[in-house]
Each structure stands twice: as structure tokens, then as C-alpha cells.
């Protein structure tokens, strides 16, 4: 994110809403007209009251009273209609805009790549899509209402009050500026205090989060009491901050009530005197009071409006950061075509360095992978195995060098085309909280159960799924928690196969399986897909031995490579690995032989 001056960001921020709002301009105009009409009508009943009460003294029949009462009711009914109109249209527009922005956020998020997701936690993004969207929706819902309603009401009420008695109006309005000033003053203080309350709440959240993340230590070292005491202290700080906020609010509302009431006392004293002297009618006195009452809400809403505006600005900026973020990995504007037949993949002087980290994750990788080859990759932790696999479906791009598919740089191809050819199965695959079937078929073009069973059989999963109560329709739960680690891996493998890739990448995808199952699945893969290019990371010699070619990575570079049968005699890492595994197998056999 390039740093922007705050002024720029702000203008850009609010201007951003214009296209969304313009779409609904008819509804907004209609809503505002309804609002103005409702506000105008609100002025009528006090005037009717004035007429009626003044009439009480002069005539003694009271014959026109039902007429006045009826008029008030009629005005109210009309007003209700207009109120319905502006509420549904203005509030509705806000929801429509919210809907649209949310869709766009989702679209933007689906386009962004790892660079973005490394910078922003899911919690952060979620908060942008929820809290920030709410403050924008509220802004749109209330801004017209606040501005138009306040100004109309203030102007018209003050005008009518002055019509009744200019001197009294001046006196009555004396406390009102004070009201606005104190609203601003306390509003700012309340805001500061609320921020402190929020900060302490965040602190509580983090405290609980940390205690729960370290629950093992807490319980093992019987730190419960110390941690509870610490938490209680933080809670008491929170309570104190809430209390000072409450006290502030208490003073605030007290002052507010006093000032607003003060205006009525002035009217009662001065206006009452005028009535007593006969300079003002009782009806005018009552109407005057009614108009004064209508003024207090717009006066108070000023602070609310300022707050709404500030929040909306900040939120729009945060949402804008998502909408404007550019993925590093994306399709070129005019992607090169790719033949249906995959011939070869070529890695030329490929090197990767993660931003902010010193050593190269991969360096000087040159590989030629003809179509249909089976390549095994092994090496110690952190040697760059996963990074190498991630380059092919362009989860990330190499920092240096290039990768060619059928002679074309991957960056020239459309991402969609590339990824429909290359499938990757991670060691800890992500499953969606749907059924087993829909997880497996998520990348498949055809959706029938024959395909499903075929692929499931290929990964030795069919029998296990069939015995589940709901079979293929079994829901796998959040991230697939209802399945075992091995089942998750096999569902992910079936899912990759169902997408019929030309290149299959397995990143230690059998880690949770026992040797026997792994061997069976590997056999199935080799016999059923002779033309598929297969690149797999593994630590198991028996699996690596089935590759045409084995690459040993060490510290980001190719340490040794060759056919497994030569490597196993080469006296390097691979041979060492093989010797060690021999003994492991021995242990295995031994433990199986023990009585249970």
C-alpha cells in the first residue's frame, strides 16, 4: 500500500460511493421528497392546536373541535404514508449498496493471491467485510435523513416560532447553541473514552486468546490462579473504563436535559408573562412549546452526524484497500493459447526468495520434465520442496528464471487454463464443509456417481465411505474435521484426479497413510494415468523407488538427482535414507509380530 496523504484518501474515500448511490437516484430522490413532505406536515398539528386552544376562550359551543381533531388525524395519516415512503426507500437503498459492495469485496478477495493473504489475517479481512460495511450502510441510510431533516426542521420551526413571537424565539433559542457546543464537547470526550473501552476489550480478547493458546503450559505449571488474577485485573480496568464512560455519559445527558429543559423554563417564564399580560394567546404559547420541542432532536443529531461521517470515511478507506489491492499473480491481458497436448515443462535457472528473508528458498533449478514422467522429490525440512511444487500452478512466481510449458512462459498463460492442467495436493489439504461427494467433484466437469466411485476406488476410499451412515453425502465438517487425516488426504487426491489434470503434484500427500495403502494408491496412479506428469514429494523410499527420476533438494538447490536405482548406490543422501528406512521397516515387522 503506498502511503497517501490523509486529505487525498478522504476525498477519494467518499467519492467512491457516488457510482453506487447514483444507480438508485430515483429512489433516493423519492425518499428525500417523502421526507421533506413528512417534515412539512409535522409543522401543521401545533398550528391546529394553537387555533383550537385560542378558540376555546372565544366561542363557547366547541363545535369546531371535532374538525380540528379530525384534521390532526388526517395530517398524521398522510404523514405516516410519507414516513413509510422515506423509510423504505432510503433504508432500502443503503441495503442495496451494501449488497453490491459486499459482492465486489468477495470478487476482489477471490482474485487476490498469497502476497495479500500473508499480509492480512482472516480476522482483519472479516472485520472489513462486516463492521466496516455496516458503518458504510449506516452512513448511506442516515446521511440524507440527517442533513435534510435537520436543516428543514430547524429552518421551519425557527421561522414559525419567530412568526408567533420574535422576542420569545430569541430568548428560547439562547440555550440551544450551548446545547450544540456541549454536544460537540462531550461527544469528543465520549469518543475518546469509548476508544479506550474498545482498546481494553481488545486487550481482554487477546488475553483470553493467549491463555487458551497456551493452555497446556498454564495447566501443566498450575498457573491458573495467576492467570485468573491477571485476567481479573484486566477486567477491573475494563470495568473502570466503562464506568468513566458511564459517568461522562451521565454528566452529558444531565447537562443536555438541563439545557433543553432550560429553554422551556424561559418560554414558561417569559411567554407565561406575555400570556398573563394578554400579549400572547394561550394557543400560541402551546404551539410555541411544540415547535421548540421539535428543535431538540436536530440540534443533538449534529454530533451523531459528525461521528457517522468520520466512521464511514475510515471504513471506506479500509474497504478500498481490499478493492484496490492488485494480485501479484494474475493472468496477462492477452493470454497465449496452450495446446491440448502437454509436451514438456522446462524450468530454467529458477530461483525464489521470500520477501524480507535473506536466504534463497530455491536457487539455480534447471529441470526438463517431458510429458508423462514421474518425478520424486525428497530432502530435509525446509529444503524448498513445497516451494518448487508451488511454482507450477503459479501459487507464486519465481523471483528469477522462468518456467515454460510447451515452450511458453507460465506467466503468458491464462491462470484458469494453467490451473485446469495442473493439480496440487497439499500435505494438509483444505476440504470444504460440504459432503464427501461435492468435495471430490468440485473440480470435475461431469457430476455423476460413476466417476465418483471410480476415483474413490483409485484412492482406496470407496469402502470406507460406503460404511459411513450417509455414505457419499456425509458432511465432512469444518475443514473436514469429521474425517481422519488419512481420509482427508485421500479425498483431496480424488478431488485432484477428478479434475483430470495433465500434471499432478503431490506435496507429501500420503503422509498420514500407512505404507501398504500408499503403495496401493501409487500403483493405481501409475497404471491408470501413464500419460499424466506426476511430481511428488515423499520421504518413503519404497514410493520414491517407483519414480523415473529422483531429485534430492538441500538448502534450496539440487543436491543430487538421477534414477532411483542409481541414486540408491551413489553413497549420498538418498542411499543414507534408504538404509535408515530399512531398519524402520524391520521395527515395523517386529512390532507387528508382537502379541497384541
Residue 13 or 288 having the CB closest to other proteins: 288
Shortest approach of other proteins to residue 9 CB, angstroms?
Answer: 25
Binding mask 225-254 for other proteins (x = CB under 8 A): -xxxxxxx--xx--x--xx--xx-xxx-xx
Select the residue interacting with other proteins from 28, 32, 43, 52 (CB under 8 A). Answer: 52
Select the residue interacting with other proteins from 217, 332, 448, 466 (CB under 8 A). Answer: 217
- Those residues whose C-beta lies under 8 Å from the C-beta of residue 30, and which sit 6 or more positions away, are 85, 89
* Cell numbers placing 230: 491477571
CA distance 360 to 260: 70
Q: Does 110 bind other proteins (CB under 8 A)?
A: yes
Residue 347 or 390 having the CB closest to other proteins: 390
CA distance 93 to 98: 8
Burial of 221 (0-12, 13-18, 19+ CB in 10 A): exposed
Select the residue interacting with other proteins from 277, 341, 467, 531 (CB under 8 A). Answer: 277
Length of the chain: 596
* Cell numbers placing 342: 502437454
Binding mask 190-209 for other proteins (x = CB under 8 A): -----------x--xxx-xx
Considering only residues 415 through 444, tell me which ones interact with other proteins, judged by CB under 8 A.
415-416, 419-420, 423-424, 426-433, 442-443
Select the residue interacting with other proteins from 11, 130, 368, 566 (CB under 8 A). Answer: 130
Shortest approach of other proteins to residue 18 CB, angstroms?
Answer: 21
- Those residues whose C-beta lies under 8 Å from the C-beta of residue 109, and which sit 6 or more positions away, are 125, 322
Contact assessment for residue 325 and residue 112, using Cβ atoms and an 8 Å cutoff = yes
Q: Does 166 bind other proteins (CB under 8 A)?
A: no
Size of the site for other proteins (CB under 8 A): 158
* Cell numbers placing 417: 487454463
Considering only residues 313 through 372, tell me which ones interact with other proteins, judged by CB under 8 A.
none
Select the residue interacting with other proteins from 15, 19, 62, 471 (CB under 8 A). Answer: 62
Stretch that binds other proteins, among 108-116, 318-326, 404-412, 450-458 (CB under 8 A): 108-116
CA count, 13 A, side-chain hemisphere, 570:
16
* Cell numbers placing 341: 497436448
Shortest approach of other proteins to residue 479 CB, angstroms?
Answer: 7
Q: Does 170 bind other proteins (CB under 8 A)?
A: no
Shortest approach of other proteins to residue 11 CB, angstroms?
Answer: 29
Considering only residues 66 through 95, tell me which ones interact with other proteins, judged by CB under 8 A.
66, 68-70, 72-73, 75-77, 79-81, 83-84, 87-88, 91-92, 95
Residue 539 or 548 having the CB closest to other proteins: 539
Radius of gyration of the chain from its Cα atoms, rounded to whole angstroms: 37
- In this structure, what DSSP letter does residue 504 have? E
Find the angle CA(531)-CA(445)-CA(369) to the nearest 5 degrees: 25
CA distance 278 to 397: 89
Shortest approach of other proteins to residue 290 CB, angstroms?
Answer: 8
Considering only residues 369 through 388, tell me which ones interact with other proteins, judged by CB under 8 A.
380-382, 386
Contact assessment for residue 284 and residue 164, using Cβ atoms and an 8 Å cutoff = yes
Looking up cell 445527558 gives: 253
CA distance 263 to 269: 10
Q: Does 163 bind other proteins (CB under 8 A)?
A: no
Stretch that binds other proteins, among 288-296, 361-369, 398-406, 564-572 (CB under 8 A): 288-296
Shortest approach of other proteins to residue 5 CB, angstroms?
Answer: 31
Contact assessment for residue 495 and residue 440, using Cβ atoms and an 8 Å cutoff = yes
Contact assessment for residue 133 and residue 319, using Cβ atoms and an 8 Å cutoff = yes
Residue 11 or 240 having the CB closest to other proteins: 240
Binding mask 440-469 for other proteins (x = CB under 8 A): --xx--------------------------
CA distance 146 to 138: 11
Shortest approach of other proteins to residue 583 CB, angstroms?
Answer: 5
Considering only residues 516 through 575, tell me which ones interact with other proteins, judged by CB under 8 A.
539
Find the angle CA(541)-CA(547)-CA(552) to the nearest 5 degrees: 65
Residue 154 or 235 having the CB closest to other proteins: 235
* Closest CA relative to residue 299, chosen from 177, 381, 212: 177
SS3 assignment, position 193: helix
* Cell numbers placing 348: 530454467
Stretch that binds other proteins, among 43-51, 296-304, 456-464, 558-566 (CB under 8 A): 43-51
Q: Does 171 bind other proteins (CB under 8 A)?
A: no
Amino acid at each position: 500500500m503506498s502511503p497517501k496523504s490523509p486529505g487525498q484518501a478522504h476525498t477519494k474515500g467518499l467519492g467512491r460511493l457516488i457510482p453506487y448511490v447514483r444507480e438508485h437516484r430515483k429512489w433516493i430522490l423519492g425518499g428525500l421528497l417523502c421526507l421533506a413532505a413528512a417534515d412539512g406536515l409535522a409543522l401543521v398539528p401545533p398550528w391546529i392546536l394553537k387555533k383550537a386552544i385560542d378558540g376555546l376562550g372565544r366561542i363557547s359551543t366547541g363545535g369546531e373541535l371535532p374538525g380540528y381533531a379530525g384534521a390532526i388525524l388526517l395530517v398524521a395519516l398522510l404523514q405516516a404514508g410519507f414516513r413509510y415512503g422515506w423509510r423504505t426507500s432510503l433504508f432500502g437503498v443503503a441495503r442495496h449498496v451494501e449488497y453490491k459492495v459486499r459482492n465486489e469485496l468477495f470478487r476482489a478477495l477471490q482474485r487476490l493471491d498469497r502476497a495479500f493473504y500473508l499480509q492480512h489475517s482472516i480476522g482483519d479481512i472479516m472485520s472489513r467485510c462486516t463492521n466496516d460495511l455496516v458503518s458504510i450502510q449506516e452512513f448511506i441510510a442516515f446521511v440524507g435523513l440527517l442533513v435534510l431533516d435537520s436543516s428543514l426542521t430547524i429552518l421551519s420551526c425557527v421561522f414559525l416560532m419567530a412568526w408567533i413571537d420574535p422576542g420569545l424565539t430569541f430568548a428560547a433559542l439562547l440555550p440551544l447553541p450551548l446545547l450544540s457546543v456541549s454536544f460537540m464537547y462531550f461527544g469528543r470526550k465520549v469518543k475518546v473514552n469509548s476508544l479506550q473501552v474498545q482498546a481494553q476489550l481488545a486487550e481482554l480478547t487477546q488475553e483470553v486468546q493467549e491463555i487458551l493458546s497456551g493452555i497446556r503450559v498454564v495447566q501443566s505449571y498450575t498457573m491458573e490462579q495467576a492467570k485468573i488474577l491477571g485476567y481479573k485485573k484486566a477486567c477491573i480496568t475494563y470495568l473502570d473504563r466503562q464506568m468513566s464512560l458511564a459517568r461522562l455519559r451521565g454528566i452529558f445527558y444531565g447537562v443536555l436535559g438541563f439545557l433543553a429543559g432550560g429553554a422551556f423554563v424561559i418560554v414558561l417564564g417569559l411567554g407565561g408573562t406575555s400570556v398573563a399580560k394578554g400579549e400572547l394567546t394561550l394557543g400560541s404559547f402551546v404551539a410555541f412549546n411544540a415547535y421548540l420541542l421539535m428543535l431538540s432532536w436536530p440540534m443533538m443529531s449534529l454530533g451523531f452526524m459528525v461521528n457517522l461521517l468520520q466512521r464511514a470515511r475510515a471504513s471506506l478507506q479500509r474497504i478500498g484497500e481490499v478493492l484496490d489491492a492488485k494480485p501479484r499473480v494474475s493472468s496477462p491481458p492477452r493470454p497465449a493459447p496452450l495446446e491440448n497436448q502437454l509436451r514438456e515443462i522446462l524450468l530454467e535457472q529458477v530461483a525464489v526468495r521470500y520477501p524480507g528473508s535473506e536466504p534463497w528458498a530455491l536457487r539455480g533449478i534447471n529441470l526438463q520434465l517431458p510429458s508423462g514422467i514421474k518425478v520424486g522429490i525428497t530432502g530435509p525440512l525446509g529444503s524448498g520442496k513445497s516451494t518448487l511444487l508451488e511454482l507450477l500452478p503459479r501459487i507464486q512466481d519465481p523471483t528469477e528464471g522462468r518456467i515454460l510449458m510447451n515452450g511458453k512462459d507460465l506467466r503468458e498463460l491464462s491462470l484458469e487454463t494453467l490451473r485446469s492442467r495442473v493439480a496440487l495436493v497439499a500435505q494438509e489439504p483444505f476440504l470444504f464443509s460440504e459432503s464427501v461427494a461435492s468435495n471430490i467433484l468440485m473440480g470435475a466437469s461431469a457430476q455423476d456417481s460413476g466417476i465418483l466411485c471410480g476415483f474413490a476406488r483409485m484412492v482406496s476410499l470407496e469402502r470406507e465411505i460406503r460404511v459411513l451412515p450417509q455414505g457419499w453425502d456425509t458432511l465432512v465438517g469444518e475443514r473436514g474435521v469429521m474425517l481422519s487425516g488419512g481420509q482427508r488426504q485421500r479425498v483431496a487426491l480424488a478431488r485432484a484426479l477428478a479434475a483430470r489434470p495433465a500434471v499432478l503434484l503431490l506435496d507429501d500427500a500420503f503422509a498420514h497413510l500407512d505404507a501398504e495403502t500408499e503403495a496401493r494408491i501409487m500403483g493405481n496412479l501409475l497404471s491408470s494415468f501413464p500419460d499424466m506428469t506426476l511430481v511428488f514429494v515423499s520421504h518413503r523410499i519404497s514410493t520414491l523407488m517407483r519414480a523415473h527420476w529422483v531429485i534430492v533438494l538441500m538448502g534450496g538447490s539440487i543436491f543430487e538427482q538421477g534414477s532411483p536405482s542409481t541414486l540408491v548406490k551413489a553413497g549420498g543422501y538418498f542411499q543414507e535414507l534408504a538404509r535408515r528406512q530399512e531398519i524402520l521397516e524391520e521395527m515395523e515387522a517386529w512390532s507387528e509380530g508382537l502379541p497384541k
